[in-house]
Structures are given as structure tokens and as C-alpha cells.
Amino acid sequence: MNTPRDLPPRRRTPSLDVAIVGGGMVGAAAALSLARAGFRTALLEAREPAPWNQSDEVDLRVVGLAPSSMALLDEMDVWTSIRKSRSSAYSRMHVWDAESGSAIDFDAASDGRDMLGCIVENNLVQWMLWHALEAAGVQRLCPAEVRGFEAIDDRIEIERMDGQTLAASLLVAADGAGSPLRKLAGIGTRGRDYAQRAVVAHVATERPHESTAWQRFLTTGPLALLPLADGRSSLVWSLPDAEARRVLALDERAFIDQLGVASDYRLGRIVATTPRAAFPLKLQLAENYQADRMVLLGDAAHAVHPLAGQGVNLGLRDVAELRDTLVAARDAGRDIGAAHVLRRYARRRRSADTLDALGFDALARIYAWQSPSLVAARGLGVRLLDRIDPLKRRIAEHAAGI
């Protein structure tokens, strides 16, 4: 048992099909999706999410939702509310290299689609999911933290910090990149620290963003300007740790001037900015996605570089795969927490997530090349790729989750 021996007496609650720990976007989406599929579900979260209000400033943390993610949210009847509250669809993406001058464009219209994705605030998505849980029959336990757990025959017993115990067929760890549950299960991770931080802010620019996601690769890391619904752009500027600290310490005028140069003035001058924040970047992959009657989901399983904007989308694809796996097992009369059932989910998602994560990592490494010959080779490769429409289409479809 992954708990101290001197615990207080347990007070059992009614058995559950699935207990999910972590109420972020991915954990809340998993709880809602599984409940709507007919599973008795509980969601344990340490803190209720902060309320989202239309009158509030746009949250600095935004996500570029892929069409597959929007479709999943629509299946759960929350996408319409999210889209109408505050979202910004983008139909084009322009990526260019500061060193070689090469560029590549993706356009939804060329593939017969309306959009490539949609920029939405993290806390808006989480808030809408959280408030859809009760109506779907999800048992929300908040505040609640897990002390330990033990798989026993046909169930897993979950010990809360307050001494209460839940019994479920399956435990889902969606408790973030530092996942305490993953550590309690003895699952290790591999990856690397990029020694970088992503500096984020919202900026107003001289020219409109044209419903386009702009991304420039600099030797220090990628800089992205993502279109917001109010006409501003969300900045995600990846920089080495020391450079990020220097940029955060700049006064507003100096920051605006340096950002204008770094963005190649693609949208003209930067005319205004919000306060800045930053978060560390790392590549982290769990060595296994399952343990006895337990699976990992979202950042607990994988953390990736933000250059492709796919972190949350990978997590929501985990959700869809887990739901489909559990529904198929239930319909076939199988135990949803059995090792062979969970192995199917773990194999599929770990394989897909690893390929994506290593692909993003390779892209970051390639764009870090500074040797003139390698820069020239990179530029030639990008120019060739931009002319091969079937390959570009395949890349766009993969990013969209098609």
C-alpha cells in the first residue's frame, strides 16, 4: 500500500467506475466525457478553478485548440459556450526562419476547411468544463487530495488526506507534470530540461493579426504571435533562462522595442502590452502510462515544447482514447480496470505521444542550428517542404487530429 501504516480508520463511500485526480482542462474533460458515456465518475481536485468572467482581462495562458479537440468538446456540449464566450479562430499559419529567411505557410482554405484551430484561454475552457460536471452526474470532490492508493482484486482504494477512502474500478492520474500519483505508482520519466522559459503577454500591434498564427524561429528559440478575439495577439516567446529573466525585467518601452525587432515587425510596431509572465520549458515522457488499475493522462504522462502548441491537444486525444477503450471494454463485458484493457490505451497513446514529443524536440534542435552550412540546409529543406502540398497537407491534418 502506498500509504503510511498509521492511518485513521477508513470511511468507505459508494463504489465508482472511475476516480480522476486533477481538475485541469484534461482531467475535467476526462471526467465529463466518461460520465456522459455512462460511467460512475468522481473528480478530485485540490482547488476549485478561479471563476471566468467576460469582463476580466484575457488570461495570459491560452491554448490553440485543434479541430479534434473542438470536436471532443462539442460532443460534451461545452464547445458552443466556450466559442461564444471568447475565442479566436485562425485560418492561416505563417512560420519563418530568422537565419535562413525560409518560410512555410499553412492555409485552411487550401484543404477545404474553415480554420486550422482556435485560440482560447485556458481558464475559460477549465471553467466551462467544471460547471458542466454536476449536470453530467460527476461527483466533484473539492478540496480533495490523495495520500495513497492500493489495487485490491476488482477495485483500487484511494486514501484521501482527510482519511476518507474511495473505491473505484480505475484511478486516472491527471494531476500535472509533477504528478504525485505517478510518483506514488513508481513510474519514472525521461526527457530533458530545455533551460528555457516561455515569456507570455498580450500585445496590441500596428497592423491586424489577419486571423493568422505567426511564428518566427530565432537562434534563441521560437517566438509566436497568436490571434486573440479582441484584435490583440498572444505572445509566447521562448528564451534561455537568463535571457528570459532579462526580458521580464525590462521596462515597458524597452520590452516593446525589443519585441518589435524579434518579431521582425511582421505586424508593424508593438503599440501596447500587458504585464509579462514566464514558465519553464521541458520535455518529459512517462516510462509507462499504466500501473495496477491506474492510467496517466495529459501532462502527468507527457510534457512537450510549446512551439507546436500541441500540449493540451495531446491530452485531449488521451481523453478520447481512454473513453473509447473503456466503452469498448464495458460493452464487451470486461473489467474496465483490467491490465489488458488499460494496456491498449497505454500502448496507443504512449506511442503517439512519444512520436509527437520527439518530433517537436527534433524541430527545436534543428532550428537551434547556427552553423552556416546547417542553416543553409535547413532553409533549403523548408523551402522544398513549402512546395510539396501533399506533405504539407499531411502535417496540417496530423496537427488537426484528423
pTM, entire model: 0.89
The single-letter code of the amino acid at 60 is L
DSSP state string for 219-231: TTEEEEEEE-TTS
- Summarised one tens digit per residue, pLDDT across range 280-338 is 999 999 999 999 999 999 999 999 887 656 779 999 999 999 999 999 999 999 999 99
Which residues lie across from 233 on neighbouring strands? 203, 227
| Interatomic CA distance for residues 171 and 19, integer angstroms | 5
- List Cβ neighbours of 131 (8 Å cut-off, separation of 6 or more): none
Which residues make beta-bridge pairs with 197?
239, 280
Best-predicted range by mean pLDDT among 1-5, 30-34, 349-353, 387-391?
30-34
Chain segment 242-264, per-residue pLDDT in tens: 999 999 999 999 999 999 999 99
126 touches 23 (CB < 8 A): yes
In the CATH scheme, what is the code of domain 16-400?
3.50.50.60
Q: What is the pLDDT of residues 310-319, one digit of tens each?
A: 779 999 999 9
User: Where do the domains of the chain lie?
Assistant: 16-400
Is-contact 1 151, C-beta < 8 A?
Answer: no
Q: 154: helix, coil or strand?
A: coil
Buried b (16+ CB within 10 A) or exposed e, 106-145: bebeeeeeebbbbbbbbbbbbbbbbbbbeebebbbbeebe
DSSP 32-99: HHHHHTT--EEEE-SSPPPPP-TTSPPPS-EEEE-HHHHHHHHHTT-HHHHHHHS-EEE-EEEEEETT
User: What does the pLDDT read at residue 4?
Assistant: 44
